[in-house]
Structure 1
Amino acid sequence: MAKPSEPTGDSHVAVLAFPFGTHAAPLLAVTRRLASSSPSTVFSFFNTAQSNSSLFSSSDDLPANIRVHDVPDGVPEGYVFSGKPQEAIELFIESAPESFKREIVAAEKEVGRKVKCMLTDAFFWFAADMATEMNASWIAFWTAGANSLTAHFYTDLIRETIGVNEVGGRMEETLGFISGMEKIRVKDTQEGVVFGPLDSVFSNMLHRMGRALPRATAVFINSFEELDPTFTANLKSEFKRYLNIGPLALLSQWEASVNDPHGCLAWMEKRPPGSVAYISFGTVMTPPPGELAAIAEGLESSKVPFVWSLKNMVHLPKGFLDRTREQGIVVPWAPQAELLKHEATGVFVTHCGWNSVLESVSGGVPMICRPFFGDQRLNGRAVEVVWEIGMTIINGVFTKDGFEKCLDRVLVQDDGKKMKRNAMKLKEQAHEAVSSKGSSSVNFRGLLDAVVNI
């Protein structure tokens, strides 16, 4: 599904997307910005057909110099999935190096230019060798935060210091031997660093990525320097070039009209400033049925106005929707970034995925965190004890009473007012970072230079 174009000049950039979770969309957003800023450069965007179909609509107004290509998903013909976690990811990763190489050769023939730059999801550690073979530069995009990137970069050091077999008794220890991780505990780190399935395909991918990234011409992330100044200084010293170019949510000029099919924003207009709890746990994870019921019971009992983004409402208590009709709305999808910008939003109840955390920071909204896996625990810990802009749910899981106490603390108590002040300071810094002379704008120009002036 290549898009025809005839730009002049001779730069050709291969963009390699990771087709799972919320990885491909931010990479495409960055590619759009780069393509608009350098119309003579061809950007060949490689992704699976399924992921591409979710990213592009027939009416999509792509810059003429972006060409979209499908790559195989790695699932053999007739393959029957066993249902084990990350099975589709493992199949894709195993086939990806050869699939990408083959499709890049075809794109080079079609465009009539050799690829001079590989712009890839950081997960693709093998891009370091591919770029060397192709005599191209490698630029890696880490779609999450500096905290999780640091944990993967220092995995070997963490394993040597903490150990991996007897880690059980050391879970409460902090990682103060790494700059910026003085308040991060062993138990906050991602699975695959020192606990969990260390030898899985996914864990090995991240471990190899951490070792490969110093070879990259540049590593860039969706964040802003002022959010994590210690990590920023440290990673600048470890990588050839380390660039914060976010928050991307503040730069999405392609969202011309807000999609709000369930009228969430109109509902918000009738609520007092800072009064509404917005609840969403992303697209990958849903709390177990007992916790969903506890959230509903806590909301009903607290009388806090709410917007709850929840696809499957089957586990809500009987009669909950009727009894809370005046208090809140439950919708299968909500315009999250816009809700977090709205002055009526007082707290975001979240799984602490990086995009969600950064959107909340950009809106100056405190958080109640219920992490599940991956970098979510690290992000939740940062929200609570590093940035002090929210709290983790009491005892790690939702109960009716625990959730009520959290809502009261964030929305009513002095402690919550302090969280709000801290969140507003970070919001100001985020907006300053993406202004014309801000750190993220300067860094984006550095990224553009690294990508097209090879």
Structure 2
Amino acid sequence: MESKAPTRILLVSYPAQGHINPLLRLAKCLAAKGSSVIFTTTKKAGSEMQTVSNITDKTVTKIGDDSLSFDFFDDGLNDDDPMRENLSDYTSQLEHVGKQYVSQLIKNQAESETPISCIINNIFISWVCDVATENEIPFAILWSESSAVLTIYYNYFHKLVAFPSKTEPYIDVHLPSVILKHNEIPDLLHPFNGYHFRTVLVTLILGQIKNLSKALCVLVDTYEELEHDFIDYISKKSVIIRPIGPLFKNLKTKGDFVKSDDSSDIIEWLNSKPEDSVVYISFGTIVHLPQGQVNEIAYGLLDSQVSFLWALRQQDDLPNGFLEETNGRGKVVKWCPQVQVLSNPSVACFITHCGWNSSMEALASGVPVLTFPDVGDQITNAKFLVDFFRVGIRLGYTRAEKKLVTRDDVKKCLLEAMEGPKAEELKQNAMKWKKAANGAVVAGAGSSDRSLDAFLEDIKSCGAVNIQNI
């Protein structure tokens, strides 16, 4: 006999914005489709979420056919604890505290006769999969990077192809349908990478790769039309891949929990500009540019005479007089509602660090990019944006290359991306991917929407099997 109990899904996120955003979007989609969803991360991350969203601990919000609630836990550290700056120590502390909390939450739900049907986690917290297994609860993984990058890490973990090593540091990596040079794979996998947290990050990511075959499925914030070859490849490796993106495009994720107070002025300013006249610049929440590079970008903007919107936390680093000289033509802010910005018709192109969230938002919004990768998967994303998706122009160098992008380079690339035949080609390609993204999330018909429905059916099937076994 099939269970009629509601599907109750627990989502556990690593406490960083780039991890929280896609998982929160997924939470809204699941609730809108009739699942009761609990979203949890640390209290510190929860308080930061509230600065841009109407989210508080223990709140329950009606979405679509069901609800989304938040339940944050204390990671046991003061806000200024130096352990937060040491990734190895912090992830160990998070695992220690998080395991106890998630286990107790599962127990509490069971005792209140509202048992958890499935648990979803994201990268860096593979221990959540262990907790799910110990409690005999099906789990899924939200992979918040591209399917191409997932394929790279999968092949690296299982030693299916040769990767750069200390003895052969410059060899090509032969993947299905593509060959990548040694400096086009995520640089965390390169033996000469000197990033001080490289070993920890690789260990955390590979810890999740190890769990792929045990998961009910792996949900990826991408769409079939964009990454068919890689989705198909991984799907043939005893791993069920369900592309469910672009998550931000799903109508159910729009408008929820977003305050307009800080963004209305930005959108009003964009609305005052002509179509395809503004360059949007943002390097995400983690990348910190050297002073010299900030200067060169600033002078490149001055010399190009283009209008710009720059999301820059380190505004004190701007050259003296820059804000005065660009008054009216440019706007510098500490934070931007990026999805709203990229969907504004005045935005012509996007200078981006190429994190997957930003890459997906640009592709699905039809906005060409100037790539400025820093570390990790950003390097591979930049390669695909330029050479495979054909929506970008190379601009910046990676952290490992230690090269400065000059103001002349900034000016040249900006003008190339905003006017003339190259700009038209980039825009046409970008609009093609936007059209495909819009189609992927159409309710009941789009490839990603059907994939999400299939995932929910998987959960219900597991529930029916569990009841029959009682």
User: For the superposition of Structure 1 and Structure 2, which TM-score range results when normalised by the shorter chain?
Assistant: 0.7 to 0.9
Against the structure 1 CA distance between its residues 157 and 117, is the aligned structure 2 distance closer, same or farther, given a 3 Å change threshold? closer
Equivalent position amino acid for 1:220 in 2: L
Out of 183, 187, 198, the residue aligned to residue 187 of structure 1 is 183
1:236-275 Cα offsets, whole Å, 9 max, x none, are 2124421111111212233477555462222222322212
**How many Å apart are 1:83 and its aligned residue?**
4.2
* Counterpart for residue 134 of structure 1: 135
* Counterpart for residue 345 of structure 1: 347
Q: Is the CA contact (8 Å cut-off) linking 2:39 and 2:70 kept in structure 1?
A: yes
SS at match of 1:362: helix
Equivalent position amino acid for 2:49 in 1: L
Distance (Å, rounded) in 2 between the aligned partners of 1:80 and 1:26 = 28
Out of 1, 9, 16, the residue aligned to residue 12 of structure 2 is 16
Do residues 449 (structure 1) and 457 (structure 2) align?
Answer: yes
* Counterpart for residue 173 of structure 2: 175
Q: Comparing 301-310 with 385-394, which one deviates more in the overlay?
A: 385-394
Count of aligned pairs: 439
Out of 410, 415, 427, the residue aligned to residue 408 of structure 1 is 415
* Counterpart for residue 145 of structure 1: 146
RMSD between aligned alpha carbons? Answer: 2.7
**How many Å apart are 1:434 and its aligned residue?**
1.0
Against the structure 1 CA distance between its residues 453 and 67, is the aligned structure 2 distance closer, same or farther, given a 3 Å change threshold? farther
Distance (Å, rounded) in 2 between the aligned partners of 1:161 and 1:58 = 46
Distance (Å, rounded) in 1 between the aligned partners of 2:415 and 2:80 = 53
Distance (Å, rounded) in 2 between the aligned partners of 1:345 and 1:219 = 34
Do residues 54 (structure 1) and 21 (structure 2) align?
Answer: no
**How many Å apart are 1:225 and its aligned residue?**
0.9
Q: Is the CA contact (8 Å cut-off) linking 1:351 and 1:370 kept in structure 2?
A: yes
Q: Is the CA contact (8 Å cut-off) linking 2:280 and 2:349 kept in structure 1?
A: yes
Against the structure 1 CA distance between its residues 95 and 151, is the aligned structure 2 distance closer, same or farther, given a 3 Å change threshold? farther
SS at match of 1:283: coil
**How many Å apart are 1:427 and its aligned residue?**
0.7
Out of 305, 310, 318, the residue aligned to residue 303 of structure 1 is 305
Distance (Å, rounded) in 2 between the aligned partners of 1:154 and 1:127 = 23
Equivalent position amino acid for 2:30 in 1: L
Equivalent position amino acid for 1:215 in 2: K
Gaps of 5+ in 2: 399-403, 463-470
Q: Comparing 230-239 with 247-256, which one deviates more in the overlay?
A: 247-256
Out of 419, 424, 427, the residue aligned to residue 420 of structure 1 is 427
Q: Is the CA contact (8 Å cut-off) linking 1:360 and 1:366 kept in structure 2?
A: yes
Distance (Å, rounded) in 2 between the aligned partners of 1:167 and 1:46 = 43
Distance (Å, rounded) in 2 between the aligned partners of 1:123 and 1:452 = 27
Q: Is the CA contact (8 Å cut-off) linking 1:75 and 1:88 kept in structure 2?
A: no
* Counterpart for residue 468 of structure 2: none
Q: How does 1:35-434 map to 2 (within 5 A)?
A: 35-38=31-34, 41-56=35-50, 57=54, 62-63=61-62, 65-73=67-75, 75=77, 80-81=82-83, 83-84=85-86, 87-93=89-95, 95-109=97-111, 111-157=112-158, 161-168=162-169, 170=170, 173-176=171-174, 178-182=175-179, 184-195=180-191, 196=193, 200-251=199-250, 252-255=253-256, 258=260, 260-261=262-263, 263-393=265-395, 397-434=404-441
Q: Is the CA contact (8 Å cut-off) linking 2:38 and 2:70 kept in structure 1?
A: yes
Distance (Å, rounded) in 2 between the aligned partners of 1:279 and 1:307 = 6
TM-score for the superposition, normalised by structure 1: 0.88
Do residues 29 (structure 1) and 25 (structure 2) align?
Answer: yes
SS at match of 2:75: coil
Equivalent position amino acid for 1:274 in 2: D
SS at match of 1:161: coil
SS at match of 1:119: strand
Q: Is the CA contact (8 Å cut-off) linking 2:223 and 2:448 kept in structure 1?
A: yes
Against the structure 1 CA distance between its residues 94 and 391, is the aligned structure 2 distance closer, same or farther, given a 3 Å change threshold? farther
SS at match of 2:119: strand
Equivalent position amino acid for 2:255 in 1: W
1:399-420 Cα offsets, whole Å, 9 max, x none, are 1011111112211242232111
**How many Å apart are 1:35 and its aligned residue?**
2.3
1:177-234 Cα offsets, whole Å, 9 max, x none, are x21442x322222244243469733321211211221111111111111111111211
Distance (Å, rounded) in 1 between the aligned partners of 2:176 and 2:233 = 7
Q: Is the CA contact (8 Å cut-off) linking 1:262 and 1:334 kept in structure 2?
A: no
SS at match of 1:187: coil
Percent pairwise identity: 24
Q: Is the CA contact (8 Å cut-off) linking 2:156 and 2:163 kept in structure 1?
A: no
TM-score for the superposition, normalised by structure 2: 0.85
Equivalent position amino acid for 1:132 in 2: T
Distance (Å, rounded) in 2 between the aligned partners of 1:158 and 1:368 = 33
SS at match of 1:154: helix
Equivalent position amino acid for 2:216 in 1: T
Equivalent position amino acid for 1:27 in 2: L
Equivalent position amino acid for 2:418 in 1: L
Against the structure 1 CA distance between its residues 301 and 160, is the aligned structure 2 distance closer, same or farther, given a 3 Å change threshold? same
Q: Is the CA contact (8 Å cut-off) linking 1:158 and 1:194 kept in structure 2?
A: no
1:151-186 Cα offsets, whole Å, 9 max, x none, are 221223558613532353x1xx4322x21442x322
Against the structure 1 CA distance between its residues 159 and 443, is the aligned structure 2 distance closer, same or farther, given a 3 Å change threshold? closer
Against the structure 1 CA distance between its residues 292 and 120, is the aligned structure 2 distance closer, same or farther, given a 3 Å change threshold? same
1:28-60 Cα offsets, whole Å, 9 max, x none, are 22122212322xx54333321112233353687
SS at match of 1:407: helix
Distance (Å, rounded) in 1 between the aligned partners of 2:38 and 2:80 = 30
SS at match of 1:200: helix
Distance (Å, rounded) in 2 between the aligned partners of 1:237 and 1:417 = 38
Which consecutive segments of 4 or more residues in structure 1 shift more than 6 A?
A: none
1:294-343 Cα offsets, whole Å, 9 max, x none, are 11100001101111111221111111111111321112222211121122
Against the structure 1 CA distance between its residues 125 and 409, is the aligned structure 2 distance closer, same or farther, given a 3 Å change threshold? same
* Counterpart for residue 401 of structure 2: none
Equivalent position amino acid for 1:140 in 2: I
Equivalent position amino acid for 2:245 in 1: G
Distance (Å, rounded) in 2 between the aligned partners of 1:79 and 1:275 = 45
SS at match of 2:162: helix
1:40-98 Cα offsets, whole Å, 9 max, x none, are x5433332111223335368761364443233425499964384456534432454334
